[in-house]
Structure 1
Amino acid sequence: MRATSVPIDARATYIGCMDTNLTHSAPAFFISHGAPTFALQPGQLGPVLTAAGGRMGAAKAVLIVSPHWITRGVRVASTPAPDTIHDFGGFPEPLYRLSYRAPGAPDWAARAVQLLESAGFAAEPDAGRGLDHGAWVPLRYLLPEANTPVFQVSMPRDFDTAGAWRMGRALAPLRAQGVAIVGSGSLTHNLYEVFHGGKEAPYAQEFASWATRAVLGGDTDALLHYRAQAPSAERAHPTEEHFLPLVVAAGAATEGEQAQLLPGGMTYGVLAMDSYAWGLPLPEAA
């Protein structure tokens, strides 16, 4: 991954697809999905995601990696019609009435299994998996019509930044075939402070600013070693599962792509909602 100050290199814009037609390369995203209440409270990021979705063009499918599906090895959802999973408790009742009824993508899931196996992952299909809130909550804003096929790839229990980068690189060829890749996590994720802090904490913004500099600067080494290099890394991420989807998404980017910031602000004082996109057309000048 390397960000530049010029638009995306067009050399890899077209490539053969599974159906032998040619298509534009689909973008990659890292999206901070925050708390489940993001589904009801779009805040700053919701409209930004909807605008980004309007610029991404027609994707053939969306592959999404969420920290709310962790398994032995890697599982790839091949469900034809995935259910909406409400994998949370104690939130407002209207959240449990929401659904996101996008179709699944069994054929693309099979292709993802092949790519992951070729990269050395122990991957297998899962024909019963639905969409957890790390998937359907941000997709409600990115693709609100829910007519693009969606499938999830799980995170293995022994995942680390090196494995996340390797997964992104393994899945990257799908972008050239028209499949958007989304890493859904949270730029900062200290739930203890969400529930017990009750006020803004400067460290969260410091960490978010560091991450943005690393992503926009194409600093792969910083992302892979964020635990040692980022300010307050262990406080921003007491556990790593919500940061690793960022590394997956960055790994799915290609050399020379311009990373874009999708600003999301801060919720609950400590949940940074900033997100990023690679390969997304820039907004048209007003």
Structure 2
Amino acid sequence: MRRLPSLFVSHGSPMMALEPSPARTFLAGLGAHLPRPRAILMVSAHHDAADRGGRATVTASPHPPTIHDFGGFPDELFAMRYPAPGDPALAAQVVDLLGAHGLTVTADPERGLDHGAWVPLSLTYPDADIPVVQLSIASNAPPEWHYALGQALAPLRDEGVLIVGSGSITHNLRALFSARPAIDAPAPAWVTDFTDWVAERMAAGAVDDLLHAVELAPHGHDNHPTMDHILPLFVAMGAGATPFAAERLHASTTYGLLGMDVYSFG
């Protein structure tokens, strides 16, 4: 079986499911350029172990429900469903793999797929016919923990599992809601300076720098006032091949402030 890459996708606003944008167009065509996976493991910024007393979980429902974990959006968005099957056997394998590396994760038979998972998947795999399992981040754990999480999951890539970290390369909602820019607004320098730095460090294979991008990159804290949306990037990086190899598949912004970069590893 052909080894799959690991991916990082920026999922932006839930409205990407409805509104035209360069990122939406890219994700809608991405599946055709990838080997078809037997299953998908999503690591979403919106599934956070820190919100659950530090208990990291992986979804184990055979039929995970679609979670509409947002408010103030059109009814059309709330009516959307992504009825992909789950994969309890894969969830159990994830628990075992991570446990063997000293990373405690438990299976959750009830939790479904949040918008960090189903919005990009509804574009890339619209038929919802590939099993999906979702793993939590832990925003109270450091970047190195998430990188190690990805490294522990890497063997799944040889078994037809597509590992996808879903977050956002920039994510400052306070600035977004304050400015309320148009969907095609140009990106300010404080956004592009950060994304360009990340791209340069990716090309250089500077893993340690990237793990501390929020501290080291220009305007790091402005683009990530909280860590939740960059942590899935580190999981995807860890799951990539050794030696480190990154490819920037897509770069754009939505509303000027939400960087929509997509990276492939391995």
Q: Which category describes the TM-score, using the shorter chain as reference length?
A: over 0.9
C-alpha spacing 1:26/1:42, structure 2 compared with 1 (3 Å): farther
Q: What's the counterpart of residue 110 of structure 2?
A: 128
Structure 2: tracts of 5 or more residues without a match: 182-186
Deviations, residues 107-160 of structure 1 (Å, cap 9, x unaligned): 111100001111111211000010000000011112111111000001124222
- 1: distance between equivalents of 2:223 and 2:174? 11
Q: What's the counterpart of residue 202 of structure 1?
A: 189
C-alpha displacement of 1:277: 1.3
Tell whether 2:41 aligns with 1:59. Answer: no
SS at match of 1:184: strand
Tell whether 2:70 aligns with 1:88. Answer: yes
Tell whether 2:206 aligns with 1:224. Answer: no
Contact 1:190 1:237 in 2 (8 A): yes
Identity over aligned residues, as a percent?
42
Q: CA RMSD in A?
A: 1.4
- 1: distance between equivalents of 2:236 and 2:226? 19
Tell whether 2:69 aligns with 1:70. Answer: no
Structure 1: tracts of 5 or more residues without a match: 1-22, 280-286
Residue correspondence of structure 1 range 1-286 to structure 2 within 5 A: 23-71=1-49, 72-199=54-181, 200-256=187-243, 258-279=245-266
- 1: distance between equivalents of 2:79 and 2:29? 25
**TM-score of the pair, normalised by structure 2:** 0.93
SS at match of 2:128: coil
Deviations, residues 242-279 of structure 1 (Å, cap 9, x unaligned): 00101110110012464221224111121010111124
Contact 2:84 2:132 in 1 (8 A): yes
Structure 1 counterpart of 2:2, which letter? H
Q: Name whichever structure is richer in helix by fraction.
A: 2
- 2: distance between equivalents of 1:239 and 1:88? 18
C-alpha displacement of 1:227: 2.5
SS at match of 1:192: helix
Number of corresponding residues: 257
Contact 2:143 2:234 in 1 (8 A): yes
Contact 1:48 1:262 in 2 (8 A): no
Q: What's the counterpart of residue 4 of structure 1?
A: none
- 1: distance between equivalents of 2:163 and 2:191? 26
Structure 1 counterpart of 2:214, which letter? R
- 1: distance between equivalents of 2:244 and 2:224? 27
Structure 2 counterpart of 1:183, which letter? G
C-alpha displacement of 1:42: 4.0
